[in-house]
Amino acid sequence: MSKNIIVTGGAGYIGSHTVVELLAQGYNPIIVDNFCNSEKSVMDGLEEITGKQVTLFEGDCTDKAFMSQVFSETNPIGVIHFAAYKAVGESVEKPLAYYHNNVVSLLVLLEVMQEQNCKQLVFSSSCTVYGTPQKLPVTEQSPTQKAISPYGNTKQIAEDIIKDQVAANSGLSAVALRYFNPIGAHSTGLIGELPLDIPSNLVPFVTQTAAGLRNELTIFGNDYNTPDGTNIRDYIHVIDLAKAHVKTLDYLTGKSNFYDFINVGTGKGTSVLEIVNTFEKVSNQKLNYTIGTRRPGDVEQIYASVDKLKKVLNWQTELTVEGALRDAWNWQLNLNRKDIKTQGIS
């Protein structure tokens, strides 16, 4: 039986690592991407790592005719839907673009899945749906809070749309994975996070600063109510996150009219200063940083309860923050060697 899996956004950061893990577990990933936030060179990295040429359909997931054609030609058993815009700050400036891309792509996908009888969906959600949690660690029973950005709202809307489609007895079985903070890169240094603009996320900013592409990192506040005063997050190695998707596909096999959501994190909180100190240790670099003011909208601390992840998927993360930072640095060094300009450097 075909084990074709459509991976929308498969050329992106998390998608590309998931493609590697899918192939390793006997699935046949088919990438659908319009490269609005990724580079075609990712395909070369994937080929070098896996020794296989991964099928690519270049196009826009909001284009229903295109998506129908992709499904007709490949007859997939399931979909992992990564394709979305993801910059929180930009979503405040361009809400319509975010609602259009993130919501319409999901609607089109669900319509085509229904029309072509494709029943398994793994959806990229985010811990952002929890807002500022009342209690830590955050369990799946923790209440979601009204999103403070259009980006966050697209994730809440998307989860509701999927839940409603399952409730309508469409035969769909779906899991929304609520990711915490993915960091790191493939251990080969051949794929990793490739910000096309100035990174707003911590780790790419750290590696670019150490590589001399940025003057200094600003730590956004050290006056929080945490042990060292800086924010705490649950940083998960992107390879672990990729594996969680394959486990979820396995879990969905044979299910019908089923919906659930699962936190995907390590269960451990790490502060911004701990990230900086660990990075300095693994890279043997002194990082130029300064303490700045708080970034509006930042949550003081958040980390996942991973009880459900362990129970439902019978799996937990295996890699460390230290290893993730080492891999991120190795990736950054490779980018510099190849003199890749698409890092928000004009």
Residue span 104-143 as binding mask against ligand WQD, x where in contact by CB under 6 A, dash where not = ----------------------x-x---------------
- Does the footprint of ligand WQD cover residue 278 (CB under 6 A)? no
Query: Under rule CB under 6 A, which residues in 172-191 are in contact with ligand WQD?
Result: 181
Helix axes 202-210, 321-337, angle to 10 degrees: 50
For residue 185, how many C-alpha atoms fall within 13 Å in the half-sphere facing its CB? 26
CB contact burial 7-33 (16+ within 10 A = b; e otherwise): bbbbbbbbbbbbbbbbbeeebbbbbbb
The footprint of ligand WQD on this chain (CB under 6 A) covers a number of residues equal to 18
The Cα 113–Cα 35 span in angstroms is 22
Identify the active-site residue in 13, 130, 151, 251. Answer: 151
61 binds, among ligand WQD, ligand NAD, none (CB under 5 to 8 A by kind): ligand NAD
303 has catalytic annotation: no
Q: Which of 91, 173, 231, 278 binds ligand WQD (CB under 6 A)?
A: 231
| 280 touches ligand WQD by CB under 6 A | no
Name the amino acid, one letter, at 329.
W
The least CB distance from residue 147 to ligand NAD, in Å, is 13
What's the rounded Cα separation, in Å, for the pair 238 and 20? Answer: 11
Q: Which is nearer to ligand NAD, 42 or 118 (CB)?
A: 42
For residue 311, state whether it binds ligand WQD (rule: CB under 6 A): no
CA-to-CA distance for 131 and 148, rounded, in angstroms? Answer: 8
CB atoms within 10 A of CB 229: 15
Query: Site residues (CB under 6 A) for ligand WQD?
Result: 86, 88, 126, 128, 181, 200-202, 205, 217-220, 231, 233, 272, 295, 298
